[in-house]
Structure 1
Amino acid sequence: MPTGRVKWYNAEKGFGFVSRDDGGNDVFMHRDALPDGVTELKPGQKVEYGIVDTRRGVQAMAVTLKDTPQQRTRRTEPAAPRRSPEELHGLIEDMIKILEDQVMPPLRRGRHPDRKQTGKLAEVMHAVADELEG
């Protein structure tokens, strides 16, 4: 069976498209092709599917989910005011320095970085992502 990744899916409209792993044209996917109980798909989610040729083009049938994307839970406290572009630029520069100085060297040596450092870095990366999402 062919595999691919969800390009986009609109649950309200009940359809979306899958990018094929074999590099072919995108495949139309209707909600009727989804497994029972699945009502929503996330971009990048890996799927396996059958293909049927219709007069409108190739359509996915009997979709099987191969993975479920991990989602970060949103903070429940009120949103802080957005940082200025200059502050955000500084945060990103600091994050890059941490990556270059503390994460990349052990990876080059075939080792995982220290968990304490990566935990702190993950917090910084989440903060930057929250700022970028606005």
Structure 2
Amino acid sequence: MPTGKVKWYDQEKGFGFISGDDGEDVFLHANALPQGVSTLGGGTRVEFGIVEGRRGAQALSVTVLEPAPSVAANRRERDRKPAEDMEVIIEDLIKLLDGVGAGLRRGRYPEKGQGKKIAQVMRRVADDLDV
């Protein structure tokens, strides 16, 4: 079966084109997409069958081989804080939580509004770790 990359695909219109590895452009209709797939991003590697339609080559039974490269994932990795910086942040967070724990052992919750700030800090640290 031939392979290629999705040149473009418009979900609203329900069609697009695949640029085959042989250089031939092949029409891609929504009916040829794999079950459960409603759109394909440009650059997605696919395998497909070909049938000659009224207007030329048309893709059949498309199988996704590799998704399109993610620009967002590359950006997240590039923007990741250095491990040395994260170490300091984690140590500060531990000190902050130790203080909260000590207060709770004495039966005191953090002051009004402080709990929200602590939760925001924890979410940001979690986001930085989960790049």
When normalised by structure 1's length, the TM-score is 0.53
Runs of 4+ in 1 over 6 A off after TM superposition: none
Whether the 8 Å CA contact 2:5–2:45 is kept in 1: the answer is yes
Cα-to-partner distance string for 1:72-119 (whole Å, 9 max, x where unaligned)? 26xxxxxxxxxxxxxxxxxxxxxxxxxxxxxxxxxxxxxxxxxxxxx6
Query: CA–CA distance in 1 between the matches of 2:35 and 2:50?
Result: 18
The 5 Å alignment of 1:1-134 reads 1-23=1-23, 25-71=24-70, 72=72, 122-123=78-79
Q: State the shift of 1:14 in Å.
A: 0.4
Q: State the shift of 1:55 in Å.
A: 1.6
Cα-to-partner distance string for 1:51-79 (whole Å, 9 max, x where unaligned)? 00012110000000001124326xxxxxx
| Amino acid aligned to 2:57 | V
When normalised by structure 2's length, the TM-score is 0.54
| Amino acid aligned to 2:34 | P
Whether the 8 Å CA contact 2:43–2:69 is kept in 1: the answer is no
Q: State the shift of 1:2 in Å.
A: 0.2
Larger Rg: 2
| Percent of residue pairs identical | 54
Q: State the shift of 1:123 in Å.
A: 2.4
| Amino acid aligned to 2:37 | V
Note the residue ranges of structure 2 that are not aligned, 5 or more in a row: 81-131
Note the residue ranges of structure 1 that are not aligned, 5 or more in a row: 74-118, 125-134
Corresponding pairs, count: 77
